[in-house]
Amino acid sequence: MTKKEKDNHLKERIPCDDLVECRMGNGVVVHVPRKIFDQVLIRMRYPVREYVSYKEGAILYSMSERKFYDLVKDAKAKVQYGGKVLVSVKAVNQFLEYCKTE
């Protein structure tokens, strides 16, 4: 299957409204599902941040804010300073690794 056939096959399976057109430097055009594009964009935007807000963390970990809030609570990753609440990405990752090994 050629690249063009694969691209058309993807368009048939996913509504065009849910695809983002990405143009590469060499002229290649790729259609990517919006959800995947958003996740990649968020990871590029916050590559080395140690702390994120609940909203940013929910996007980063691809879950609802409520689920992320529960995860942060279980991981004891909440950091409060003044009136602002931040989440330690390192603590969340360590907790997830711990859960994966159980």
Residue type, 51: Y
> What mean pLDDT is reported for the chain?
83
* Tokens 């330690």, located at residue: 88
pLDDT digits (tens, 9 = 90+) for 74-99: 999 999 988 999 999 999 999 999 98
| Pair of tokens at residue 88 | 């330690």
- Residue 6 carries which side chain, given as an amino acid letter? K
Domain ranges of the chain: 3-41, 48-101
pLDDT at residue 7 in the model: 61
Low-confidence ranges of the chain (pLDDT < 50): none
